[in-house]
Amino acid sequence: MKVTVNIDCSPLEAREFMGLPNVQPMQENVMKQLEAQMMENIGKLSPEAIMKNWMSFAPEQFQDAFKSMFGGGSK
């Protein structure tokens, strides 16, 4: 004997039927926090900010590395 059952329901209805929690409010909250954090840190990813940060450590070493990479001579 073969029995086929087709159930037409939404994901929310299926979760409720199975007794699983509704995680949509938690997901929305996490996404809002993630978006806020990304927007806060977006300025740190600009090329100017990255180069300024890198050059602040040892500018002479970076200048020497760029010169050697692009054929600007040797020291």
Q: Which pLDDT score is estimated for 51?
A: 77
CA neighbours within 13 Å on the CB side: how many for 68?
Answer: 8
Structure token pair of residue 64: 């020497």
Model's pTM, two decimal places?
0.47
Q: How far is 49 from 57, CA to CA, in rounded Å?
A: 13
- Summarize the confidence of residues 31-39 as an average pLDDT: 93
Q: How far is 10 from 14, CA to CA, in rounded Å?
A: 6
User: Is the predicted pLDDT of residue 47 greater than 70, yes or no?
Assistant: yes
Closest CA to 51 of 40, 62, 60: 62
User: Is the predicted pLDDT of residue 13 greater than 70, yes or no?
Assistant: yes
